[in-house]
Amino acid sequence: MSLLAVGISHRTAPVALLEQVAMTTDDKVKALHELVGSDHVSEALVLATCNRVEVFAEVDRFHGGVAEVSRVLARQAGANVEELSPYVTVHYEDQAVAHLFTVAAGLDSMVVGETQVLGQLRAAYALAQEEGTVGRSLHPVAQHALRVGKRVHSETGIDRAGANLVTVSLDHAEQRVGPLVGRPALVVGAGSMGALAATTLSRRGALVTVASRSPESAARLAAAVDGGTAELTDLRAAIADADVVVTCTGASGLVIGTDVVAAAMTARSGRPLAVVDLALPRDVDPGVASLPGVHVVDLALLQGERSAALLQGERSAALLQGGRNAALLQGGRSSAGVPGPVAADDVSAAHALIEAETALLRAERQAAAVAPTVSALRSQAAEVVDAELLRLAARLPDLDARARSEIARTVRRVVDKLLHEPTVRVKELASTPGGVDYADALRALFGLGLDAEVPADGPRLAQAVGVDPDDLRPGGAA
For residue 223, is it left (φ>0), alpha (ψ between -120 and 50) or beta? alpha
Three-state SS sequence of 98-154: HHHHHHHCCCCCCCCCCCHHHHHHHHHHHHHHHCCCCCCCHHHHHHHHHHHHHHHHH
Residues with catalytic function: 50
* Cα(222)–Cα(297) distance, integer angstroms: 23
Q: Is 192 annotated as a binding residue?
A: yes
On whether 304 is known to bind a ligand per the annotation, the reply is no
Residue 252 known to bind ligand = no
325 appears as a binding residue in the annotation: no
Report the candidate in 60, 59, 83 with the shortest Cα–Cα distance to residue 6.
59
Residue 51 among known ligand-binding residues:
yes
193 assigned binding-site residue = yes
Q: How many CB atoms lie within 10 A of CB 437?
A: 18
- Looking from the CA of 56 toward its CB, the CA atoms found within 13 Å total 28
Backbone angles phi and psi of 285, in degrees to 5: -60, 130
DSSP 179-228: --TT-EEEEE--SHHHHHHHHHHHHTT-EEEEE-SSHHHHHHHHHHTT-E
CA 450 and chain centroid, separation: 32
Strand-strand pairing, 2-9 and 52-59: antiparallel
In 3D, which of 187, 231, 182 has the Cα closest to residue 209?
Answer: 187
114 marked among binding-site residues? yes
Is 109 annotated as a binding-site member?
yes
Q: Is 12 annotated as a binding residue?
A: no
Of 306, 315, 353, which Cα lies nearest the Cα of 108? 306
Report whether 167 contacts 194 (CB < 8 A): no
Percentages helix, strand, coil for the chain (3-state, rounded to 5) are 60, 10, 30
49 is in an annotated binding site: yes
Sign of CA dihedral 95, 101, 105, 106: positive
Sign of CA dihedral 385, 388, 390, 392: negative
Of 329, 307, 334, nearest in space to 318 by CA: 329
Residues with Cβ within 8 Å of 375's Cβ and at least 6 positions away in sequence, in order, are none
CA distance 197 to 185: 10
Whether the CB-CB separation of 211 and 240 falls below 8 Å is answered with no
CA 285 to chain centre: 29
120 is in an annotated binding site: yes
> What SS3 class is residue 164?
coil
Which residues fall in the annotated binding site?
Answer: 49-52, 109, 114-116, 120, 189-194
Annotated binding residues for NADP(+) = 189-194
**Annotated binding-site positions for substrate:** 49-52, 109, 114-116, 120
